[in-house]
Amino acid sequence: MRRCNVGKIAFLMAGQSSQYPGMAKDLYETESSVRELFDRAELLRPGTIDIMFNGSAEELKRTDVTQPCMFLADLAAATALTAYGVRPDAVAGFSLGEIAALAVAGVLTAEDAFRLVCRRGELMQAAAERTPGGMLAILRQDRETVERLCAEHGVYPVNYNCPGQIVAAGEAARIAEMKEALAGAGIRFVELAVGGAFHTPYMQSASEGLKAVLAGLTLQGPKIPLYANRTALPYPADTAEAVSLITAQVSGSVLWEDTIRNMLADGVTEFIECGPGKTLTGLVKKTAPDVSAFPVGDVSSLREKGVLCCGEKQP
């Protein structure tokens, strides 16, 4: 397989809230490698393909449904890109996207990563039902201001997305109070389409549950640098340390801006967002406006990227 004539490429695996009915359907219908991936996952969790392609937006919002579906959509794009000769030199995933990134980096097989993400979704859904919550993207404010506002309202700064965009999460009542306060102060925010207070201490039970799942799986050292949400640094080769990062991730902050900056410092020159939407592409552009970033989530974008990068599809 011919290597693309560019510098270092990073795959960025999309996170929750970018899902939509029908995502990755054309990749499934067009690319045999994607079809094989989905069919193996369907044996492990029957009904996943149907809800991805035919489910409603409301059904796909449930965390225990969203996560396995988004995982497959993310990995579908990465798998199809590989079929076009586009191979990553590094990988990172936003929140649940980090589980897909574990598969891309070879830490887990695709099947084991799917098993993990299915259980992750169930555990996080259960935690969200115990403590209903929400998440707000706070815009055009610096870290210190957002952290102060969060402390004042009893919520948590959880996703450091890019300059001027930090996500807060917390209990539903506290999030409602914060929305009123932000609106009153003229501070812009966007409520995220998620079903809980993710990446907060309210998810600690999910962190504990993931330890039991990972105890039954075989982890390998990353074959390419895999940047962790918790540290913004590459995963270690040590299995125990990797397990600690995976389990702590669901109840801790996502240092995404720092991750992108560290990848740039390590020589990444091009970012390809794998999965539905173009949220991560936008975050990259806001962090490093001059860098190359491109979303791939369907056949049209796949073919455009494959031709731009490699000239033609490789066998």
Residues that are catalytic: 95, 199
DSSP string, 77-108: HHHHHHHTT---SEEEESTTHHHHHHHHTTSS
Q: What is the residue whose two structure tokens read 């991750």?
A: 259
Contacts of 76 (CB under 8 A, 6+ apart): 24, 27, 28, 31, 34, 37, 38, 275
Q: What is the residue whose two structure tokens read 């996502």?
A: 254
Please name the helix (run of DSSP H) or strand (run of DSSP E) that holds residue 268, with its range, or none: strand 268-274
Least Cα distance to 222 among 37, 95, 89, 34 occurs for 89
Chain Cα centroid distance, residue 164 = 20
What number of other Cβ atoms are within 10 A of residue 299's Cβ? 18
Start-to-end Cα distance in the chain? 7
- Are the CB atoms for 76 and 37 separated by under 8 Å? yes
The whole-angstrom separation of Cα 273 and Cα 74 is 9
The whole-angstrom separation of Cα 296 and Cα 294 is 7
The whole-angstrom separation of Cα 32 and Cα 255 is 35
